[in-house]
Chains A and B, each alone.
Chain A
Amino acid sequence: MSRRRGGRTGYLLLLPAVAWLVLFFVVPLYSLVATSLYDPTGSDFRGYEMDWAFGNYLDAVRDYARPLLRSLVYGAVATVLCLVLGYVLAYAIAFKAGRWKYLMLVLVVAPFFTSFLVRTLSWKLILADDGIVVRTLQAVHVLGPDGRLLATSVAVVAGLTYNFLPFMVLPLFASLDKIDHRLVEAASDLYASPVIGFWRVTWPLSLPGVVSGTLLTFIPAAGDYINADLLGSPGQRMVGGVIQSLFTDANDYPAAASLSVVLMALIVVMVLVYVRRAGTEDLL
C-alpha cells in the first residue's frame, strides 16, 4: 500500500518537468519535423501544405553540404582544442591549485558575466589586421605580409574554442576533483611512473568528464553561428547561420526546418557512436 502511494508521489513529482518538456521540447520538435515535410513550393504568402516532402532532406543535404560539413569540422576542431586546453587547466585546478582552487573555478566561469556577443566581438579586436597577434605572426613569418586572421577559419575556430572552453573545463574539473589522490599514489607504488600512472589511472577515471565535456562543447559549437558571423566571412559560414538566414531572411521554412533536422540527426548519431566508442555508458 505504502509502496504504491510512494510510486504515485514519484509520478506526481515528475509532472512539472514532463509538462515543461512536452510544451517546450516535444511540441516544438513536432512542429519542426512537420515543417520540414511541408511542400517546398509554399511560402508565407501562399501558405504551406503538408505533403510529406521527404525530398526536402535530400535538397537540404545537397544544397548545404559544405556548411554542414564545415560546422561538424569546426565543432570537432574546437572541441579537441578545448579538450587539450581544458584538461590541462582542469587538472591544474583540481590537483595543483591548493587553496586557489575555487577562486580559479570562479575565474573560469567569470566570462559568463559578460554577454556572449560582446565577448565574441572583442575577438575582432584581438585578431584585427593591425592587432598585436597578427603583427607578431607576420613578424615571425607565420603569416605573410598581407596575411590576416579575421575572416578565416582560424578566427572562427579560435572564437568557438574560447567561447565553449568553460563547458569543457567544468565537467572535467568535476571528474578530476573526485579522483582519490591515493589511487595515484597506489599506481606510483605499483611501479607506474607519473606518465604511465596518468594514462592508466587518472585518464580513465576522468573519462566521464571527458565525455560530458566534449558533448557539452561539440553540440553547441557545431550549431553555433555567431562566431562564424562575427569572426568569419561568407566562406566560413556554418550551418547554424544558413538555417538562421533561411528562416528569417529567405522565409524558406521547409528548407530551414529540414536542414535543422538533418543537423540534429547527424549530431545525435555522432554522439551515440562516440559514447559507445568511449565505452563510458556505465560511467555516464
Chain B
Amino acid sequence: MSQAVERPTTTGPTRSDEAADGYDGLRLRSVTRTFGAFTAVDDLDLDVPRGSFFALLGPSGCGKTTTLRMVAGLETPTSGTITLAGQDITHAKPYRRPVNTVFQNYALFPHLDVFENVAFGLRRRRRPDVRRRVEEMLELVELGPQARKRPHQLSGGQQQRVALARALINEPEVLLLDEPLGALDLKLRRSMQVEIKRIQTEVGLTFIHVTHDQEEAMTMADTVAVMDAGLVRQLGAPAELYENPRSTFVANFLGQSNLVEGTVTRRGPDTLTVDMHGTAVTVPTARAHTDGARGWVGVRPEKVLIGEAGSALDAPGGTVPGGIVTDVSFVGVSTQYLVRMPWGQELQVFAQNTGRQQMFGRGDAVELSWRPEYAFLLDHAQDAGAGAQRGDEG
C-alpha cells in the first residue's frame, strides 16, 4: 500500500500550543509502539473528549488493541506521551491510573462470585459502602439475582455485563472496551450495543471502544477513528466517515464503495469535473481528496440509480450508459445488482424495494447515474482494494 497518509485533523489545540492547556480528555501525542521490527502503533495523535463514546475501528493487527492497552497501562509506548485530564500517565502503573478495561473474553475471576468480581476494584481501593454500590451496579446491568453465582454459571451475555459492571463501578475517567461483544452471537450483540450505549449515556463517562465491526462502531460511537497499519486513517462522526471517506481504505472498510478510475479535467471553486471512461462526472470540491490529475471516483452502491438504457434518470450529474446486469440478488429490503460497465469493471448498485421502480434481470442493458453531491474523489496512488477484505470473523 503506497499512500500518503493524512493526519487526522482533531479538534482542539495543535501541537505547538498544547503544553499547559486545560484539556480534560484523553490525549495521545506521537505515540509509537514497536515490537521488534514490527510497528504496531505509528506516531499516533489522538484526542478523546471527556464524556464521549469513541470507537477505534480497524482490521485485526491495525494497532487498535495495542493503543487501548497503552491507555490501560498494560503496554508502555516506545515513545510519545499519553495525558489524561492534563496529567501525564504515559508511565503510570496500570493499577494507579483512573482507567478500567472491559477485556476481550471478559477475564472474570473464576474463583470469585459475581458480587466479588464487581467489588474487586472497590475493595482494592478500600472504598466504603461496597455492598450498596455493588448492588446498585448489579441493578444497573440487571444481574441482581445472579450476585452469588460464579462466572462459569452465567451465559455469555451475563458474563459480558459482569465485566462491564466490574469496570464501571470504579467510575473511571476512561472506560476501555476491547472487542467487548466479539464473543456474543449476532442477536445478543445488537441488544448489548443498545445496552452499552444506554449505560454510557446514563453514567456519562468517556468510553473508548475497540472493534473490527464497522456496524458496531457506527451504531455506538459519537466519534470513530478508523485505524490501519498503526495509523489513524480518518476520524469523525460515523455519518461523516461514511458519506465522505478520504481514502480508499475508509471507503472500503466502512460499508462498500464503487471506485472508478478518472482524470480530472477541470477544477472549479465548487466542483471538479472528472472524465470517467468517457463520461464527464462532477464531484464537489469539498469531497475531492486529491490534488492529482487522476483519481478514484467513488460512490456508495445505494446512491447509484439504475434505469433502463435510454431512460432519463433523475440525476444531474450525467448518466453512465452501456451497463449490462451480470448478477441480481434480492435481499428483501433491497435488490443488489452487479453491473458490468463498458470498460470492464463491475459496479454495485443497491436499489431500495420501494415497489415502484423497475426490476432488472441478468443480461439487461441498463444505465447508471448518481447525484453529484454523493460522489467523492480519492487519491489515485491509493490501492482501490484497500480495506475491502474486512475482518468479519467476530
* Chain A residues packing against B (C-beta within 8 Å): 180, 182-183, 185-193, 196-197, 200-201, 204-205
Contacts and interface: CB of A to CB of B under 8 A. Distances in A.
B74 A185 contact: yes
Contact of A182 (B94, B107, B167): B107
Contact of A189 (B74, B105, B110, B125): B74
B343 interface: no
Contact of B101 (A183, A189, A196, A201): A189
Interface in B224-267: none
By CB atoms of chain B within 10 A, which of A185, A191, A192, A193 has the most?
A191
B95 interface: yes
B15 interface: no
Interface residues of B, number: 24
A152 to B, nearest CB: 41
A193 B95 contact: yes
B65 to A, nearest CB: 12
Contact of B120 (A182, A187, A193, A205): A187
Name the prevailing secondary structure of the B interface residues. Answer: mixed
A182 B140 CA distance: 25
Interface of B: 72-74, 93-96, 99-101, 103, 105, 107-111, 120-121, 124-125, 166-167, 170
The 9 A-B residue pairs with the shortest CB-CB distance in the complex, in nearest-first order: A191-B124, A190-B121, A182-B107, A186-B107, A188-B94, A204-B111, A191-B95, A189-B101, A190-B120
B109 A188 contact: no
Nearest to B100: A189
Name the prevailing secondary structure of the A interface residues. Answer: helix
A130 to B, nearest CB: 51
Given A180-B107, A193-B95, A186 B101 contact: yes
B246 to A, nearest CB: 35
By CB atoms of chain B within 10 A, which of A186, A189, A192 has the most?
A189
16 contacts: A182-B103, A182-B105, A183-B107, A186-B107, A187-B120, A188-B73, A188-B95, A189-B101, A189-B167, A190-B124, A190-B170, A191-B96, A191-B121, A191-B125, A201-B109, A205-B110
Nearest to B125: A191
B378 to A, nearest CB: 39
A196 B124 contact: yes
Contacts of B74: 185, 188-189
Contacts of B107: 180, 182-183, 185-186
Contacts of B120: 187, 190, 192, 200
Nearest to A182: B107
B100 to A, nearest CB: 6
Nearest to B116: A200
Nearest to B72: A189
A201 to B, nearest CB: 6
Contacts of B94: 185, 188-189
Contacts of A193: 93, 95
Contacts of A186: 101, 103, 107-109
Contacts of A205: 110-111
B89 to A, nearest CB: 13
B166 to A, nearest CB: 7
A196 B120 CA distance: 11
A19 B292 CA distance: 86
A70 to B, nearest CB: 37
By CB atoms of chain A within 10 A, which of B105, B111, B167 has the most?
B111
A189 B109 contact: no
Nearest to A283: B111
A143 B376 CA distance: 88
A191 B125 CA distance: 7
Contacts of B170: 190-191
Nearest to B126: A191
B168 to A, nearest CB: 12
Contacts of B73: 188-189
A183 B109 contact: yes
Contacts of B103: 182, 185-186, 189
Given A183-B110, A187-B120, A188-B93, 5 more contacts: A180-B107, A182-B103, A186-B103, A191-B121, A191-B124
Nearest to B101: A189
A183 B117 CA distance: 11
B194 to A, nearest CB: 25
A212 B288 CA distance: 69
A202 to B, nearest CB: 10
A197 B123 CA distance: 12
A103 B101 CA distance: 35
Contacts of B93: 188, 193
A183 B74 CA distance: 12
A187 B111 CA distance: 13
B107 to A, nearest CB: 4
A157 to B, nearest CB: 33
A189 B111 contact: no
Given A185-B74, A186-B103, A192 B124 contact: yes
Contacts of B167: 189-190
Given A185-B74, A187-B120, A201-B109, A192 B101 contact: no
B10 to A, nearest CB: 26
Contacts of A182: 103, 105, 107
Contacts of A180: 107
B368 to A, nearest CB: 50
B166 A190 contact: yes
By CB atoms of chain A within 10 A, which of B96, B110, B125, B170 has the most?
B110
A197 B107 CA distance: 14
B317 to A, nearest CB: 52
A182 to B, nearest CB: 4
Contact of B95 (A183, A192, A201, A204): A192
Nearest to A183: B107
Nearest to B127: A191
A84 to B, nearest CB: 22
